[in-house]
Amino acid sequence: MTNTLKRLLMAEIDNESEGGVSPTTLESALDSVRQGYNPTGDMDMETVGRELEQLLDQLGPDTAAEPLLTVEDWTNRPYYV
């Protein structure tokens, strides 16, 4: 999984606490991407969308996003996401 996708999933999980879809699934993350969501404004969302589609094919649409991220991912998280 690319760091860009990890950043997107972290932002989606953060949005849960602000009234977003809960829990964040791969399908809900892809839906956000298709609606134009770009948490930092500079992500290559076309590439992220393709990567999400591949994960959906492998793991299924109802796969929760949070277990796909490690403690290290959260620890090394950029300050702006």
Q: Which tens digits make up the pLDDT trace of 25-77?
A: 999 999 999 999 999 899 999 999 999 999 999 999 999 999 999 999 999 88
| DSSP 8-class letter at 68 | G
Tokens representing 74 are 């959260």
User: Residue 11: which pLDDT band, with cuts at 50, 70 and 90?
Assistant: very high
Query: In sequence order, what are the beta bridge partners of 64?
Result: 25
Q: Distance (Å, rounded) from C-alpha 55 to C-alpha 45?
A: 15
User: Residue 17: which pLDDT band, with cuts at 50, 70 and 90?
Assistant: confident
Query: What pTM was computed for the model?
Result: 0.88
Q: Where are the domains of the chain?
A: 3-70
